[in-house]
């Protein structure tokens, strides 16, 4: 009985020893692979901090001098009326909510062509 117990204990010890060894090797290998990638990743990361977040180019269609907070509704309607009378006519026939939606999109940076398409879309799908 005592011999069997001694054998079992010895077996467990050997097994544990190998498991610990395997674990040690795994940690070592993963440590090496991380160490290989890490300097590059950290260099990339610190370089990224130097970049200013900005979309380019600023849209000349929507942002004009003195209108950095966005064009007013009046300026938008005036511009539409002067340049695209047809679109303006349909725009005026839209319900108030749709007109607001069109204007919001314009302020949001949509181009005049996108705005005109939207006006027609809203007009035809009232």
Partner 1 sequence: MNGFYLGVLLFLSCFFSLQVFADELQLGEEMAVKLTADKATLHVIHDGRSVKVQRVQDPEYVLKGYYAKTARKCPPFCLQPMQVDPRVATIGEIELFEFMETKLRDNQGLLIDARTEEWYQRGTIPGSINIPFTVLSKVGSAESDEALKRFGGKPRGEVGAISKKLEKMGIFGSDNKTEKWDFNSAKELVLWCNGPECGQSPRAIKGLLSVGYPADKIYYYRGGMQLWQLWGLTTVVPGE
Smallest separation (angstroms) from partner 1 to the CB of 40: 5
- Kindly provide the b/e burial profile for residues 84-100, where b requires at least 16 CB atoms within 10 angstroms of the residue's own CB: beebbeebeebeeebbe
Alpha carbons 44 and 90: distance in angstroms, whole number? 52
Q: Does 118 bind partner 1 (CB under 8 A)?
A: no
The end-to-end CA distance of the chain, in Å, is: 92
Q: Please choose, out of 12-20, 23-31, 56-64, 91-99, the segment that lies near partner 1 by the rule CB under 8 A.
A: 56-64
Q: Does 39 bind partner 1 (CB under 8 A)?
A: yes
Q: Does 78 bind partner 1 (CB under 8 A)?
A: no
Site string for partner 1, 80-99 (x = CB under 8 A): ----x-xx------------
Let me know: does 90 contact 57? Beta carbons within 8 Å. no
Contacts with partner 1 by CB under 8 A: the residue count is 28
Helices 73-83, 85-92: axis angle to 10 degrees equals 130
Strand segments, DSSP code E, in the chain are: none
Q: Please choose, out of 4-12, 21-29, 66-74, 115-123, the segment that lies near partner 1 by the rule CB under 8 A.
A: 115-123
Q: Does 50 bind partner 1 (CB under 8 A)?
A: yes
């Amino acid at each position: 009985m005592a011999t069997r117990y001694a054998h079992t204990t010895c077996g467990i010890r050997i097994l544990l020893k190998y498991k610990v060894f395997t674990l040690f090797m795994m940690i070592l290998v993963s440590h090496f692979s991380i160490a290989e990638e890490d300097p590059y990743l950290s260099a990339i990361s610190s370089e990224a901090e130097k970049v200013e977040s900005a979309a380019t180019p600023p849209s000349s269609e929507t942002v004009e001098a003195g209108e950095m907070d966005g064009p007013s509704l009046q300026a938008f309607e005036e511009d539409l009326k002067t340049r695209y009378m047809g679109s303006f006519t349909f725009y005026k026939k839209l319900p108030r909510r749709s007109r607001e939606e069109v204007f919001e999109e314009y302020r949001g940076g949509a181009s005049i062509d996108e705005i005109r398409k939207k006006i027609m879309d809203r007009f035809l799908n009232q």
